[in-house]
Amino acid sequence: METSQKKLPPIDAAGQKHVLKGMTLEELQAWCTERGQTRFRGTQLFEWMYRHQVTETAAMTNISERFREYLRENCILTTLKLQKVSRSDQGTTQKLLLTTDDGLHLEAVSMLEENRHTVCLSSQIGCNVDCDFCATGSMGFLRNLSVGEIIDQLIAVYRLTEVPVTNIVFMGMGEPFLNYDRVLTAADIFHHRQGFDLGATRITISTSGILPGIKRFIREKRRYKLAVSLNATTEAIRTRIMPVNHTWSIDQIFAELRLYKSDSQRKIMFEYILMKDINDSPEDALRLVSMIKDFDCKLNIIPYNETDGRYQRPDEEVIEKFLEVLYNRRGNIQILVRWSKGQDIAAACGQLAVLNG
Ligand code: SF4
């Protein structure tokens, strides 16, 4: 029920519609009260957009017809259009090509494995971190995604499959910590009980090592999982394949990570993409264990997914030898080997790239 008969104000001076997708509960409540509605109206909008993933105002049956009409005429509830779906691994991996309102393309990936449904989300269109082995890096950087565009990737996946999403990873296109505020706002909406209601430890944010972002994440005591893409055991090799290491070295990152309060549900995840003749020797395996053994951590080994042929996946026996050294020395480190899914549709780790412009 409306608290005021005040006339609904016009939309902004530029004549643009209000983009509601991506607004937080508090923002929607304030936005509604500015328009003579109750704060509760904002709560209803929040629930319709995120809990029920409704994009048509007609479905918002507990909102007055008059206000629904206002929303229909003046507001945007969807920010992305689904362009194409590619499937592989007997349909258990699906890559979604999505288009923004300004005509740019981005990708998200849905992966079903046993009782997990993981969705890999993009945080930017392109990326300027420029990791030498990554297809996204080769696209250059176009812009950050909005909160609504991050959320609409997940909603597009919900539309495509009946299987409930169990995990979200920010490992798609872009460096999440270079779009920190929006990524964390989207994560908060994913976690919100009246939003998508996903547990905090089911949301993982992966960084290439953006130190200010890592610091902020730790200082803010965020409850989401943190993954760090390590990929080398010496500063020289890491700088060669990940130029970001020029700015923030392994030593600096590790010094900061020592302040991270992990627990059994929330261990730091180190990711290590295994590349032929770059970082795949038994000595690398030994160094890797000694670097991370003091952390309460998981280690994710990802045999490289080839893109343009400049880097290759190591031969099977080299991978086996590397893993053997790791398993023999691992101590408390939990090791996972991720044979990435969706390679044939370029949906695997480091393969996401689209043509824009
Ligand atoms: S690996 Fe991640 S941070 Fe590096 S260029 Fe690719 S998308 Fe950017």
Last residue of a domain, one of 38, 61, 76: 76
- Statement to judge: residues 247 and 286 lie in one domain: yes
- Statement to judge: residues 126 and 257 lie in one domain: yes
Q: Is the CB of 60 under 6 A from ligand 1?
A: no
Domain contains 55: yes
Whether 107 is catalytic: yes
Residue to mutate (ligand 1; options 123, 134, 241, 307; most atoms within 8 A of CB): 134
Q: Which of 107, 149, 175, 271 is catalytic?
A: 107
Q: Look at residue 4 in the predicted model and tell me its pLDDT.
A: 43
Task: State phi, psi for 109 to the nearest 5 degrees.
Answer: -130, 135
For ligand 1, the distance from its centroid to the CA atom of residue 351, given in whole angstroms, is 10
- Statement to judge: residues 40 and 126 lie in one domain: no
C-alpha distances (whole Å) from 260 to each of 59, 108, 210 are 44, 29, 15
Which residue shows structure tokens 């989300």?
121
C-alpha distances (whole Å) from 134 to each of 17, 271, 339 are 36, 14, 17
Q: Look at residue 350 in the predicted model and tell me its pLDDT.
A: 61
For ligand 1, the distance from its centroid to the CA atom of residue 19, given in whole angstroms, is 28
Rg (CA), the chain: 22
Domain contains 351: no
Last residue of a domain, one of 76, 98, 123: 76
Last residue of a domain, one of 10, 42, 76: 76
Spell out the per-residue pLDDT of the chain, length 357, in tens. Answer: 444 444 554 454 455 789 999 999 999 999 999 999 999 999 999 999 999 999 999 999 999 999 999 999 999 899 999 999 999 878 889 999 999 999 999 999 999 988 999 999 999 999 999 999 988 877 889 999 999 999 999 999 999 998 999 999 999 999 999 999 999 999 999 999 999 999 999 999 999 999 999 999 999 999 999 999 999 999 999 999 999 999 999 999 999 999 987 777 789 999 999 999 999 999 999 999 999 999 999 999 999 988 777 899 999 999 999 999 999 998 889 999 987 666 665 655 566 666 565
- Statement to judge: residues 238 and 335 lie in one domain: yes
Domain count, the chain: 2
Q: Which of 32, 127, 297, 349 is catalytic?
A: 349
Q: Look at residue 266 in the predicted model and tell me its pLDDT.
A: 87
Domain contains 4: no
Contact 74, 87 (CB under 8 A): no
- Statement to judge: residues 326 and 250 lie in one domain: yes
For ligand 1, the distance from its centroid to the CA atom of residue 78, given in whole angstroms, is 27
Q: Look at residue 199 in the predicted model and tell me its pLDDT.
A: 97
> Rounded to an integer, what distance in angstroms lies between the CA atom of residue 44 and that of residue 25?
9
Domain contains 10: no
- Statement to judge: residues 188 and 60 lie in one domain: no
Q: Walk across the sheet containing 297-303 and list its strands.
A: 80-88, 93-100, 105-113, 116-120, 167-170, 203-207, 225-229, 268-274, 297-303, 334-337
> Rounded to an integer, what distance in angstroms lies between the CA atom of residue 98 and that of residue 83?
5
Contact 110, 153 (CB under 8 A): no
For ligand 1, the distance from its centroid to the CA atom of residue 171, given in whole angstroms, is 9
Q: What is the domain extent for residue 196?
A: 80-345
Domain contains 26: yes
For ligand 1, the distance from its centroid to the CA atom of residue 133, given in whole angstroms, is 9
Residue 352 alpha carbon, nearest atom of ligand 1: 7
Ligand 1 atom 4 nearest Cα: 131
- Statement to judge: residues 45 and 160 lie in one domain: no
Q: Look at residue 151 in the predicted model and tell me its pLDDT.
A: 98
Q: Look at residue 305 in the predicted model and tell me its pLDDT.
A: 84
Tokens of 226: 């943190």
- Statement to judge: residues 132 and 198 lie in one domain: yes
Q: Is the CB of 136 under 6 A from ligand 1?
A: yes
**18 alpha-carbon distance from chain centroid:** 25
- Statement to judge: residues 30 and 98 lie in one domain: no
- The domain that contains 27 carries what CATH number? 1.10.150.530
- The domain that contains 186 carries what CATH number? 3.20.20.70
- Statement to judge: residues 93 and 211 lie in one domain: yes
Burial (0-12, 13-18, 19+ Cβ within 10 Å), 19: middle
Tell me the three-class secondary structure of 31-57, residue by residue: HHHHCCCCHHHHHHHHHHHHHCCCCCH
- Statement to judge: residues 165 and 265 lie in one domain: yes
Ordered alpha helix ranges (H), the chain: 25-34, 39-46, 65-74, 135-138, 147-160, 180-191, 211-219, 235-241, 244-247, 250-257, 282-292, 316-329
Q: Is the CB of 175 under 6 A from ligand 1?
A: yes
Domain contains 282: yes
- Statement to judge: residues 144 and 182 lie in one domain: yes
Whether 127 is catalytic: no
C-alpha distances (whole Å) from 170 to each of 118, 124, 224, 301 are 11, 10, 11, 17
